[in-house]
A = this chain, B = another copy of it.
Amino acid sequence: MSLTAVQYGVGPIGRRLVETAVARGIAFVGAVDVDPSLAGTDLGEAAGLAEPLGVSVTADADAALAAGPDLVLHATSSSVEAVEPQLVAAMAAGADVVSTSEELSYPWRAHPAVAERLDAAGREHGVTCLGTGINPGFAMDVLPAVLTTPCRSVEAVRVERVQDAGTRRAPLQAKVGAGLSVDEWTATVGADGGHVGLPESAAMLAAALGWTLDAVEETVEPVVADERVTRDHVTVDAGAVAGIHQVATGVVDGEAAIELDLSLYVGAPAPHDAVAIRGVPDVDVVVDGGFHGDVTTPGVVLNAVPRVRAAAPGLATMLDLATPHVDAGAGR
């Protein structure tokens, strides 16, 4: 019998989750989105699938959740405060939840009260809630943690992630401010703090390594294009903003023990993910080309489903669950 699911959030990421979930044999029984232009649309059509799924998108979450799905796939907002009532409603309907909300990947440090309430809701309803994705959720937290497995001791972890935003979805380019002037960028993207999730990754990594963080410091700055760059969804003129360079530093005993360095801009050369562990022994790893965010987030989310289904009730993190790997049996 197929696993049943409600898709909560049918934006660009939600649509990719639907595509991957259908490929895994998951049966959708409902879909929620507040966008009026999607109301009444078949979820398969909204997700760009060749076949309709026989499920209409609605803004009425209660109505959709009334189907009593096994699982809710959730992709609405980065903010754990914004998504809390949505997640609680999903859990109250008896569903395990996997969400791409960046702050949900490790809310225990920045939003401990929300984390406590979500954990309690999961325990009350006997279901598990997880926030994950490629970043946060894997590239800058789970992968570096796993790479410390052969170490006798670790002093510092540095992760560098370089992505060409020109190969990413259009909303991501807007999120990093591609095409804006520096002043426009400063008033919008810069003021909002850029990409969400680096402090969550730093906190999850610190918890895994048994480190107590004195502080997590974060900087975000615009990357300005030297020359005109054209990609599928965007053109950036010379002198305009191409994207962001963002660094989160986890301070332990006064030292910068964790450094997460993210460059996400249109035209970034030689995309890659690199992990450098200083310890006994050092571990230096490069992922050639890097993990492409739009392509890999659905993989991380759907591959987590069997482990979330098997986990103890409550709010989980990726590092609480069993060792992750591809799991094409997610729909079984």
Contacts and interface: CB of A to CB of B under 8 A. Distances in A.
Contacts of A281: 291-292, 295-296
A210 interface: yes
B284 A323 contact: no
A228 to B, nearest CB: 29
A134 B320 CA distance: 22
B283 A285 contact: no
A319 to B, nearest CB: 5
Interface in A115-130: none
Nearest to A134: B150
Contact of A151 (B285, B322, B326, B329): B326
A291 B150 contact: yes
Contact of A210 (B20, B321, B329): B329
B286 A325 contact: no
Number of chain copies forming the complex: 2
B324 A323 contact: yes
B150 A138 contact: yes
B323 A146 contact: yes
Contacts of A40: none
B287 A210 contact: no
A149 B145 contact: no
Interface magnitude class on chain A: 35 or more
Nearest to A302: B152
A323 B142 contact: yes
A299 interface: yes
A253 interface: no
A162 B147 CA distance: 18
A153 B208 CA distance: 28
A303 B287 CA distance: 24
A15 to B, nearest CB: 14
Nearest to A319: B323
B322 A146 contact: no
Contacts of A55: none
A314 to B, nearest CB: 15
Interface of A: 20, 23, 134, 138-139, 142-143, 145-154, 208-210, 279-289, 291-292, 295-300, 302-303, 318-329
Given A149-B325, A279-B326, A285-B287, 14 more contacts: A20-B152, A23-B152, A23-B153, A134-B150, A142-B146, A145-B323, A152-B299, A153-B328, A209-B326, A210-B328, A281-B296, A285-B288, A286-B286, A323-B324
